[in-house]
Structure 1
Amino acid sequence: MAMRVDKKNDSEIVTDDMYPFLRRYKDGRIQRLVPNTFVPPSEEPGACGGVATRDVVIDHATGVSARLFLSASAAAATERRLPLVVYFHGSAFIAGSAFSEASHRQATTISARAGALVVSVDYRLAPEHPIPAAYDDGWAALRWATSSSSQSHPWLASYADRRRTFLVGDSAGANIVHNLAVRVTAQQDCEDMDMIGIEGIVLLQPFFWGPERLPCERPGRHEGRRVFAPERMDKLWPFVTGGAVEGNEDPRLNPPAEEVASLRCRRALVAVASRDVLRGRGRRYAAWLCGGGAWCREVALVVSEGEDHAFHLGRTAARASAVVLMDRVVRFLHGSDTLDPAATGVSTRDVVIGDPAAGVSARLFLNVGAVATGTRLPLVVYFHGGAFCTGSAFSEPFHSYAASLSALVVSVEYRLAPEHPIPAAYEDSWLVGAPVGNHPWLAYQEQEGYHVDPTRLFLAGDNAGANIAHDMAVAAARRRAAMHRREVTLSWCRRERAMGSTSTGRSAQGPWSSWIAEFINGRAPSSLITDGKTEARSIFNALMRGRVRTRSCAWAPLVMGQIRKSATAQQQG
């Protein structure tokens, strides 16, 4: 008796599995897996967090449309026109919509918090409309939004400041932002089009890929569940281009360094997530833009620790890390990616160190109050902790600590293991010696904006960062570079026990704060160690008074242990 074999029909056979976004079946049916709940527009600001919304059709031939978001309070509170933000949603070119809940919430947040007029573009999706349809739609939307023609929407004519045009995108939307910036750059000299000037670009976890594997994309570097897996990324671009491109060498997906460096935008913000398989591409993009860009004068790199791709969208948009990211985006759109000097007394800037291809960067902290008095500040080169495999100069605890020092601080964002094993962290940190000095805040010349006293250079580090500080001192001695006069090494866990956690962003308290401030500024300390071993006490007190000059810190563990004991005793007393 013959065995019966059940055969699947064509409607059940998957030919293209683009999980978590889409599946295509043998009969041509397409199943989109991402929920796409439609949110209706409303011109009543009270129904949408103080933001009025309207839907418009940009091109009737292609069906390209957009949703406009107008902050009612910003429009009413000032006679000045509002920044114009052209926003592109993500979801790998094959899912999502400007009218979906996630995109609507994101654009509403930008409009309400940044006081901007947002044009959220609903571009055509693959595979029904393969690439370059999304780019063509984005270009049509940008031309429409920035046109001075009377055919533009009344909100644009009445409220938009086209001189402050920003392109903002999430994931695939960030890829569209880049490619539109390339097109703007290429057509700057055309006489038959309105001149489009881009004030800034914002790329949030940008969708870039390539034929080669970066260290963070190799097997063993992305254990656990991830939004994107390298194997699926390899198949995605040929799918969204409709088979027109076989591999991943397409410059629209894998932009070359010279193209990135040539972009004609004044400012840029690039955000990556530490668990995102695409993070290496974003870091490299920011480094290329900052290191070789003739037009882009300010580049900020934002790293969200412990997060994966698109963590700031959807149901997770309210958690702390997502709020912090949006805070940075709002500050950027306001025209300053700095801390509020009125509230903190500290301004910040992000810079790239050394070869842009390496992706090594740093955050600079400038004490505005001290500068206003004409004081030349000590220079502190600071290395964060995290056992060489976690942490970031851009994460909240290390950011808050660096901002608390009474100095001009260079907080180094070095590469982490296991993607970049030791000695990568040491090599990255040594790069800070000269290239970062090109930044105007670090100018040594006698001129306006001269902030640094080059005779007071310090190395500081927490935990693994203290190890790096030691290695820097040893390397300086070996190379006869004399990079420092004195050195302080701090233990992260010991400092927390003495001062309390810095994660709240409050000013450091306890004996540590006064000791470090007095040490950096070369003053005799108001309180000295009075207990414990005589050797440790004499070394530290002499060091604080500026009487010790050292090329290494072999005695540091002994001294720092004694400091912890003394500080703890004072707190308990």
Structure 2
Amino acid sequence: MHQLINKMGDQKGSSDEILHNLFTLMKIYKDGRVERLSGTDVVPAGLDAETGVLSKDVVISPEPKLSARLYLPPKISAGRKLPLLLYFHGGAFVVESAFSPTYMKPLNLLAAEANVLIVSVDFRLAPEHPLPAAYDDGWTALKWAASHAAGDGGEEWLNEYADFDRVFLGGDSVGANISHNMALRVGSSENNNNSVDGVKINGLFFNCPFFWGAERIGDEGDIPIFVSFFDTICRVALPEPAGLDDPRINPSKDPELAKLGCKRIIIFVPEKDPLKHRGWLYKEALVSSGWRGAAQVVEVKGEHHIFNLNNPTCDNAMAMLKKLATFFHDHNP
């Protein structure tokens, strides 16, 4: 994110046919053409020699097409199952995928260090599929995972290794936004005992969460080009006339926030991330709403947005993995 300042060009030099310019990510033209500038590369699944993590790709739903990449850590004790993390990638709702090289190393490290089974969901992207498509895909993936709770689902890794008493949702940037909206849907559903098909969400993991709003908080307004960038993300991903304070984008404006369907949240906010104030505001809004849970914010000194994706083995990234290992394996929250 911090690199955008140096890479953003003057929009006056762009073609008059450009409707939205997301700079290093995407250009959307007035004739409907979409040009993705990053996040389109993919890498195959398989055995990671460094961590011993084994990954594979699965189809969750044929229509709409929904796939995921699964990560299985090497440390599996006989008779003991692993926490299950449904992970949602970042990319401003418009780029990246579950099969991107951006995520392969970080998720291999996360699976190995935190000893969790990961389902990384490849949700549909805007503008071709505006919100709530990504939320709907997240819900489909969550119900698919829950269908394995009795040990007779269609995916052997979930049947054999997943502990459905320890199910988590998480992701980076907009992936954290998706995780929030999934948990809120869980808690808001009628007659479900705060669960999905009998499976409860143990906790949420947010890394550099993307939330936004019409009013500036903290020092958000100090760099107008960031404000324009985030405003454009919201317009592209959510083109309906809901505005920047749509509760899906700005949870602090959601009167139903107390219904969030989990009891624990850990939020990582880098010190130099323009979005860090939104992570802090999220916690404050939860407390004010009357939500009965525990939220922890970890401010990562000296780091920028998605720092762990840019440098997965830096000291702060590895420290985050250790905190997550404790979070996922805490049987007495």
TM over 0.5: yes
In structure 2, the residue matched to 1:55 is: 57
Rounded to whole Å, the distance in 1 between the matches of 2:299 and 2:59 is 36
2:118 is the counterpart of 1:118: yes
Aligned position for 1:306: 302
What is the correspondence of 1:134-533 to structure 2 with a 5 Å cutoff?
134-147=134-147, 148=149, 150-187=152-189, 189-190=191-192, 194-218=197-221, 220=222, 222=223, 229-241=226-238, 243-245=239-241, 247-255=243-251, 256=253, 258-290=255-287, 292-296=289-293, 298-314=294-310, 316-335=311-330
Matched residues in 1 for 2:257 and 2:36: separation?
33
Contact kept, 8 Å, 1:70 with 1:117, in 2: the verdict is yes
Distance 1:26 1:283 in 2: 37
- Aligned residue in 2 for 1:502: none
Structure 2 contact 39–97 (Cα < 8 Å) conserved:
no
Name which structure has the greater RCO, CA cutoff 8 Å, separation 6+.
2
Q: Report the Cα distance in structure 2 between the residues aligned to 1:78 and 1:112, rounded to whole angstroms.
A: 17
Find the residue that maps to 1:55 and give its secondary structure.
Answer: strand
Amino acid at match of 1:331: T
Deviation at 1:195, TM superposition (A): 2.0
Letter in 2 for 1:330: A
Q: RMSD of the TM alignment (CA)?
A: 2.5
Asked if 2 retains the 8 angstrom alpha-carbon contact of 1:238 and 1:246, the reply is no
**Percent of residue pairs identical:** 39
Q: Which residue of 2 aligns with 1:19?
A: 23
Query: C-alpha distance in 2, partners of 1:193/1:178?
Result: 15
Equivalence for 2:3: none
Aligned-partner Cα distance in 2 for 1:300–1:113 = 20
Change (3 A) 1:190 1:246: closer
Letter in 1 for 2:83: P
Alignment check: 8 A CA contact 1:87 1:107 kept: no
3-state SS of 2:306 partner: coil
Q: Does residue 37 of structure 1 match 2:32?
A: no
With over 3 angstroms needed to count, the CA separation of the structure-2 counterparts of 1:173 and 1:52, relative to structure 1, is: same
CA distance 1:193–1:111, change in 2 (3 Å): closer
Q: Who is 2:8 aligned against?
A: none
**Equivalent residues, number:** 316
When residues 246 and 264 of structure 1 are mapped into structure 2, their CA distance, relative to the original with a 3 A threshold, is closer
1:293 deviates by 4.5
Deviation at 1:329, TM superposition (A): 2.0
Distance 1:168 1:60 in 2: 24
Q: Which letter does structure 2 place at the counterpart of 1:106?
A: P
Distance 1:193 1:181 in 2: 10
| 1:309, distance to aligned residue in structure 2 (A) | 1.2
The amino acid of 2:268's aligned partner reads A
CA contact under 8 A between 1:260 and 1:285: conserved in structure 2? no
1:279 & 1:56 partners in 2: Cα distance? 34
1:103-114 aligned within 5 A: 103-114=103-114
TM-score, scaled relative to structure 2: 0.87
Q: Hey, what does 1:493 align to over in structure 2? A: none
Q: Distance in 2 between matches of 1:58 and 1:31?
A: 27
**Contact between 2:55 and 2:70, CA under 8 Å: does it hold in 1?**
yes
**Distance in 1 (alpha carbons) for counterparts of 2:284 and 2:30:** 43
Could you tell me how far apart the structure 2 residues matched to 1:153 and 1:310 are?
31
TM-score (norm 1): 0.52
CA contact (8 A) 1:188 1:195 kept: no
Report the CA distance between 1:324 and its aligned residue: 2.2
Please say which structure displays the higher CA radius of gyration. Answer: 1
Whole-angstrom CA distance in 2 between matches of 1:313 and 1:336: 28
Q: Deviations over 1:301-325 (max 9, x none)?
A: 11012222111113x2222222222
Corresponding residue number in structure 1 for 2:9: none
Structure-2 residue corresponding to 1:72 = 74
Are 1:36 and 1:96, in contact at CA under 8 Å, matched by a contact in 2?
yes
The verdict on how the C-alpha distance between 1:47 and 1:154 changes in structure 2, with shifts beyond 3 A counting, is same
Q: CA contact under 8 A between 2:273 and 2:305: conserved in structure 1?
A: yes
Contact 2:114 2:322 in 1 (8 A): no
Say if 1:235 and 1:322 are closer, same or farther in 2 by CA, change over 3 A.
same
Aligned to 1:340: none
Contact kept? 1:87, 1:120, Cα under 8 Å:
yes
CA contact (8 A) 1:257 1:288 kept: no
**Aligned-partner Cα distance in 2 for 1:248–1:198:** 28
1:229 match: secondary structure: helix
- Per the alignment, residue 7 of structure 2 pairs with none
Task: Name stretches of at least 5 consecutive residues in structure 1 with no aligned partner.
Answer: 1-9, 338-348, 350-573
Per-residue Cα deviation, 1:22-44 (whole angstroms, up to 9, x for no partner): 111234322212243311011x4
